[in-house]
Amino acid sequence: MYLIKDYLPPVLTRSLRALKNHRKIYSSFAQAKAACNSEGFEGQALVDMVFFKTQQYREVLKQKTISSLSIPESFLVATIAKMNQSHIRVLDLGGAFGAHYFFIRNFFPHISFDWVIIETSAIAKRGSELNDKNLSFIAFENIDKTQLGSFDLVLTSATLQHVPDPTETLEFLLSLNAPWLVFLRSSFCLDAEHFWVIHKSLYSDSGPGPKPEGMKDGLSEFPFALVSKQIFEKKMQVRYKEIFCISDNSGLLEILGKECIGFNRLYQLQNSSI
C-alpha cells in the first residue's frame, strides 16, 4: 500500500512538516489556556476515555503477554530493578489512572508497592473506582505536604509539560527529598525561559493501549510547556545527581525555529545512603 507522502517531492514534504510544527508561542500557561477551545485534562469525555483505556490495559497485563516494551517502560523497569527493594513507596505526579502502577506491579510481583498518584480533581475522584488498596489518588489542589509522608521514588511522566508552573512543580518534587527521582517522556527547550504552545490531540492519544471499542473519540486542546533546560538542570544539581539518561522524543513537540530535546532521566539524591 502506498501513502500520499510517497508521491510528494522532498521539498513539499519538508514544507508540510514545517507547517505542522509551526505553532504560536505563548509566554505563560494562562495565555495559552485562554486560547484553547476545550476543557483539556478536566474534560469528562477525555477522563472517561483514559479511565476505560486503563481498565482495558489492566486486564491485558493480567494475561502476562507483553510483546514489547517502549523506551519509557524499559527505563522504569530498569529504575525499579536498580532500586533493589522489597517495598517501594512511589509518588506518581500526573500518573492518570495508574497505568505505570499496574504495569510495574505485574512486572515485579515480588515487590510490594504503595503507589500515590497526584492528579486533576476529575481523575482523582474517578480513581477510587479502581478499587486497589495499594493505589491512592490526591487532587493537585488538595496536596498537603505535611501529610504526604516520605517516598522511595518520585515519578513523573510527561507532566512538567502540562502544569501551570513547571518551576514551582519541580521545586515541589525536589522538596520531597526522595532517594530516587525519575522523569519519563520529558522535554527541554534550549531557551533561557520556559515557553508554551497549544497542543491538540485526540482523546484516544491519551492513556495506555488502544481505544476501547464503541467509545467516541474527540479532540482536546491544552497548554504545553517547553521547559528550559537551563532552569531545570540548575534546580536539579542542588540536591540530585544524574544516574543515567536516554533520549526519547515520545513526549516532545517539535517547534519550528526552536531547539528541543526529549529524554528519560534517573536522578539520585546526593549523599543518599542507598
E-strand ranges in the chain read 87-93, 112-119, 135-139, 153-157, 180-189, 195-202, 219-228, 240-247, 260-269
* DSSP output for 189-231: ESSSS-EEEEEEEEGGGSSSSSPPTTPPP-EEEEEEEEEEHHH
User: pLDDT at position 2, please?
Assistant: 37
**Could you tell me the residue range of the domain that residue 112 belongs to?**
31-269
For helices 166-175 and 229-239, what crossing angle results, to 10°? Answer: 10
Q: Is residue 5 part of a domain?
A: no
Domain annotation covers residue 187: yes
Per-residue confidence band for 271, with pLDDT thresholds at 50, 70 and 90: confident
Task: Determine the pLDDT at residue 18.
Answer: 41
- Asked whether residue 10 is domain-assigned, the answer is no
* CA distances to 71, 103, 119 from 66, in Å: 14, 10, 27
113: left (phi over 0), alpha (psi -120 to 50) or beta: beta
Nearest CA to 196 among 26, 36, 60? 26
Q: What is the pLDDT of residues 144-181, one digit of tens each?
A: 877 889 999 999 999 999 999 999 999 999 999 999 99
In a domain, 274, yes or no: no
4 within domain boundaries = no
For the entire predicted model, the pTM comes to 0.88
Residue 123 included in any domain: yes
Residue 44: give its domain's CATH number: 3.40.50.150
Q: Is residue 20 part of a domain?
A: no
Residue 15: predicted pLDDT: 36
Counting the structural domains of the chain, the total is: 1
> What pLDDT, on a 0 to 100 scale, did the predictor assign at position 144?
83
In a domain, 14, yes or no: no
Kindly report, residue by residue over 10-30, the tens digit of the pLDDT.
443 333 344 456 789 999 999
pLDDT exceeds cutoff 50 at 225: yes
Residue with cell 497548554: 223
Written as nine digits, the cell of 199 is: 497542543
